[in-house]
Structure 1
Amino acid sequence: MPGLLQAPPERFGKTRYLVAAFAEFIGSGLFSFAGTAVLAQATAGPQPNVVWAALGNGLVLTASLYCCANLSGGHITPSVTIATMITGHIPFFKGLCYMLAQVCGSIFGIFLVVGLIPETTVGMGNNAVGCFHPGPGITKGMLFGWEFVLDFILVSTVYAVAIGQPTFGNVAPLIVGFALTADLFAGGAYTGGGVSPARVLGPAIVFNCHWDVAWVYILGNMSGGIAAGLMACPLYGDHAPVWDKMMPWGDHHMERESMSRMLDAAENGEQRPQGNIMSADHLTTVVATDNSAAFDPARPTKIKTFALARG
């Protein structure tokens, strides 16, 4: 069974991409709106309340994940999406749809902020609530480093609890929310804890604020997500076939190798497949069908079905 943050079994027919993308739109919008509202309260006093901001945003992310996890997989942030695209857990086109929906959702969430929080207006500039900027003395190089590390921690947690098998099941979104809280405790005072490129772009677009550093946040976030995904390949397997030669211990690679050896042996008359597979011809069909599936975790592969049947 796929983890909560992987795409679930496809059951939407021709509309599955629209349903999943809309779920990402809603999840990102909730995260952007409620997270910004929390920041507005945390920064209302003379001294920013980092504890309030960290706990509030962690809870908001957890709620957003639970809202859309069963529809889209609950990526919420492009950092998670690009990592899963690289490791082969979702198709490329679906990933692009997700990221577009996440950015649009964040923009929508900030428009809700404009409508519901007093003294906020479109295009109000760098003084707008929710606009991310580095703390005093933080250079662009430091900003990139912080955002890289913070996103690496978050995306690594996603792989550990929701993608690597066995998953943590229904508590996975809660653990990911804890990871964001830890991120904000560590780096909130230095960078504001952007973490999500969509979360950074939403306020920047609506309020027209801090474009001079927005690209640094986005570059750091995406780089951290990619690095976490690449690290996850040798640890958890289930990666795209392109990585097999470099990391031959991945689950799918080992299953394909086992199937290939059994097929070769059956064709040479050395042995016949056991279990529910009745002929080498059927085994050929299984392997060919699985190769065409591109190992999309949204569709459980027939190789895995065969392996379970034999067990």
Structure 2
Amino acid sequence: MLTTISWEPVRRACRLRHPIVRETLAELVGTMTLVFIGNSVIANNAVNAMNNEALGYGVALAISVFATGGVSGGHVNPAVTVALSLAGRCQLNRVLPFVLAQYIGGFIGAALTHGLYFDLFKKDPGRYSTLYGIFATYPELNRDFKLQNISLGGAFLDQVMGTALLMYGIMAITDKRNTNVPKGVVPLAIGVTLFGVITCSSSNTGAALNPARDFAPRVYSYIIGYKDVFKYCDHFWWVPIVACHLGAVIGALVYLLAIELHHPTGQHEDEDKAVLDVDADSAAAARSRRGHRGSAGPVRQGAARPYREPAYELSGRENRAYEVDDEPRAYSGRRGDSRSGRDRFADDYM
């Protein structure tokens, strides 16, 4: 009889039972995966120029969200976590542990990239080459390591707009009351969104779009010997931290205020339906005044309509349904009122 190895005893012994601890670990591993794959793609391009950083980071994000989305939501980005908490999609007690885990994961991911391309870095023992660019993002430099084609303010705006666009896409993809993207497609959709954002803006600053993807690996590159990474580009290092957080909040609020808050739900659906009914009644009254005798929609008190057969379902002052036909019929809506349905209709609604 064929048997399989059972991990159930290990699972029972090692399983993290506290949800915050379990989700925080998922964020650490997810961000580590994102940075490891993404930075390794950049390192690979340093050896064999293929110019596929955008695709590499898009796939890295999709894999990370596939791995952790069902546990923690797959934020893998401090700016995304903070923005989701402000939008009401992430509990506030998750923000601090998630953010710390994401920075730690980014640092470990950078270390894994260093290990994968250890021989490449051995060729630069004095740390004088541009291999520091594997770990963090930098705008284009001149010979004095100053900003060349973009100002510091322009770099800040680039990161704000890029992260806002990324966050806007994430909000839309994960909004179940919008297009309701299937759960299994969400990671791919988010990865494609990142690919698009990096493709449209990477030439400005390198498109960090994620503080944990930039700052933590930058710290690692400083530790292994690249001592000027916090001085390059007019001290650019703080821009991906501040600008990405600001941009993510802007992107989330734009989607929330422009789209998500306007989805009809519950009582609001009834209100929207009532508005449509009023509009239909107004159109019916206008057609009646022009002499048309086509279909006129629901009847409303005060709306002039010609007599039609065979029946009406009315919700007027009595909130009772009755029929109108050619034969006189006693109306029982009011005591002592023996007028026919046609007379009652003519008196009350014509």
**Fold-level match, TM-score > 0.5?**
yes
Tell me if the contact between 2:155 and 2:205 (Cα under 8 Å) persists in the aligned partners. Answer: yes
Cα 1:181–1:114 shift into 2, 3 Å: same
Deviation at 1:120, TM superposition (A): 3.2
Deviation at 1:42, TM superposition (A): 2.1
Deviation at 1:13, TM superposition (A): 9.1
Tell me if the contact between 1:123 and 1:207 (Cα under 8 Å) persists in the aligned partners. Answer: no
Paired residue type of 1:39: I
Counting matched residue pairs gives 233
Secondary structure at the aligned position of 1:43 is classed as helix
Structure 2: distance between partners of 1:40 and 1:98: 27
1:180 matched to 2:194? The reply is yes
Deviation at 1:25, TM superposition (A): 0.5
Structure 2: distance between partners of 1:123 and 1:103: 27
Gaps in structure 1 of 5+ consecutive residues: 1-11, 238-246, 259-311
Q: Which whole-Å deviations, capped at 9, do the CAs of 1:189-229 have from their partners, x for residues lacking one? A: 22111111000012211112532211111111111101011
Deviation at 1:16, TM superposition (A): 0.3
Greater relative contact order (Cα < 8 A, sep 6+) = 1
Structure 1: distance between partners of 2:205 and 2:135: 12
Structure 2: distance between partners of 1:236 and 1:41: 41
Structure 2: distance between partners of 1:39 and 1:157: 24
**Number of the residue aligned with 2:28:** 25
**Number of the residue aligned with 1:282:** none
Deviation at 1:168, TM superposition (A): 0.7
**Number of the residue aligned with 2:280:** none
Q: Which whole-Å deviations, capped at 9, do the CAs of 1:237-271 have from their partners, x for residues lacking one? A: 4xxxxxxxxx6x5778968xx9xxxxxxxxxxxxx
**Number of the residue aligned with 1:70:** 70
Deviation at 1:235, TM superposition (A): 3.7
* Root mean square deviation, CA, Å: 2.7
1:16 matched to 2:19? The reply is yes
**Number of the residue aligned with 2:229:** 210
Structure 2: distance between partners of 1:123 and 1:56: 29
Structure 2: distance between partners of 1:139 and 1:253: 50
**Number of the residue aligned with 1:111:** 111
The 5-angstrom pairing of residues 219-238 of structure 1 reads: 219-237=242-260
1:39 matched to 2:42? The reply is yes
Cα 1:86–1:123 shift into 2, 3 Å: farther
Gaps in structure 2 of 5+ consecutive residues: 1-14, 141-147, 223-227, 272-350
Work out which of the residue numbers 130, 135, 147 in structure 2 matches 1:130.
135
Cα 1:76–1:251 shift into 2, 3 Å: farther
Tell me if the contact between 1:132 and 1:210 (Cα under 8 Å) persists in the aligned partners. Answer: no
Deviation at 1:26, TM superposition (A): 0.6
Q: Which whole-Å deviations, capped at 9, do the CAs of 1:153-211 have from their partners, x for residues lacking one? A: 11111100113524312211111111111112111122111111000012211112532
Tell me if the contact between 1:132 and 1:194 (Cα under 8 Å) persists in the aligned partners. Answer: yes
TM-score w.r.t. the length of structure 2 is 0.61
Structure 2: distance between partners of 1:213 and 1:114: 23
Q: Look at both structures and tell me which one has the larger radius of gyration over its CA atoms.
A: 2
